[in-house]
C-alpha cells in the first residue's frame, strides 16, 4: 500500500475491522468502513471488501473526490 496517497491521505486498517483515513492537511482521522476484509490502493483510488464468501462486496473510493478544487 502506498504511503500518503495523493501526498495527503494515510490509510489504516485496524484489528477491529475498521478502515480509516488520516488527512495530513486537516490533521484528522475519519472512519471509512467497518468489518473490512481486504484493502488495496493504486494511484488516487482506494478499494476494500466487506462480508464473507456468501456476502462479499467490494467498495471503491476515488480520493480525488474528497479534495476541494
Segments forming the whole domain that contains residue 54? 9-66
In this structure, is residue 19 part of a structural domain?
yes
- The answer, yes or no, to whether residue 1 has pLDDT greater than 70, is no
Binning pLDDT at 50, 70 and 90, where does residue 27 land?
A: very high
- The answer, yes or no, to whether residue 67 has pLDDT greater than 90, is no
Q: Which residues contact 69 (CB under 8 A, 6 or more apart)?
A: none
Binning pLDDT at 50, 70 and 90, where does residue 3 land?
A: confident
Number of domains in the chain: 1
Instruction: Please say whether the beta carbons of 32 and 22 come within 8 A.
Output: no
In this structure, is residue 31 part of a structural domain?
yes
Give dist(CA 52, CA 49) in Å, integer: 9
In this structure, is residue 1 part of a structural domain?
no
In this structure, is residue 27 part of a structural domain?
yes
Amino acid at each position: 500500500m502506498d504511503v500518503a496517497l495523493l501526498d495527503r491521505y494515510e490509510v489504516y486498517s485496524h484489528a477491529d475491522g475498521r478502515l480509516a483515513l488520516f488527512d495530513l492537511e486537516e490533521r484528522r482521522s475519519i472512519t471509512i468502513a467497518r468489518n473490512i476484509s481486504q484493502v488495496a490502493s493504486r494511484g488516487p483510488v482506494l478499494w476494500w471488501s466487506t462480508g464473507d464468501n456468501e456476502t462479499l462486496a467490494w467498495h471503491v473510493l476515488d480520493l480525488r473526490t474528497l479534495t476541494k478544487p
